[in-house]
Copies of this chain bind each other. A is one copy, B any other.
Amino acid sequence: MSGVLPVAFVASHTGPWQITQISPVVGESLPAASHLTLVEGQGHVLPDPAVWCLRGVVSHLRYTGDAEVQALRARQQPLGRPEARCAALIPIRKNAAWWALPQDVRRAIVEEQSHHIAIGLNYLPGIARRLHHGRDLGEPFDFLTWFDYAPEQASAFEALVAKLRATEEWRYVDREVDIRLERVG
């Protein structure tokens, strides 16, 4: 109806992705689980019993400017390439101080100070990503980022994550969990 795609990340005892690691980065972790299923759209039946379920929506861009959109579109790849047998789900919550900042100040921290978009661009097209927004839904995490990549991109992925966590922007992160996965079969 509104061009927004709801996505549920459901951890249970079965699913197309095997969870290899759940690591707390900042704050409380998530319960252990063996498998994950992505459920896209409304009205689908969720795997039962679920150990946990995180929800978000794929929605419009919040900070990316026109020139950056062009650069991203020229390089980015879709999720689900056959070679992308590794994935990561990184749920993040930012603190109240972040959300109280005006739009221009948040944008300046994201890009002019932290180079978030430019850093991600450096790892395209090898690492594909999709951002899901959970804040307006009252979810425990503001953002769920899903990445997929081929096994030979694993060290590049570690470098990407390490660079982002070292930024000014990450000083506003008050909960972060790092979930790694491998495709089943």
Contacts and interface: CB of A to CB of B under 8 A. Distances in A.
Interface string A135-148: 11111101000000
A6 B138 CA distance: 8
Contact of A136 (B59, B65, B107): B59
A138 B4 contact: yes
A64 B102 CA distance: 6
Interface stretch (A24-32, A75-83, A93-101, A156-164): A93-101
A117 to B, nearest CB: 11
Copies in the complex: 2
Interface string A15-31: 00000000000000000
Contact of A2 (B4, B61, B93): B93
Given A2-B140, A4-B138, A6-B138, A102 B68 contact: yes
B138 A60 contact: no
A103 B142 contact: no
7 contacts: A2-B134, A2-B135, A4-B136, A6-B138, A57-B136, A57-B138, A60-B100
Interface of A: 1-4, 6, 42, 57, 59-66, 68-69, 93, 96, 99-100, 102-105, 107, 133-140, 142
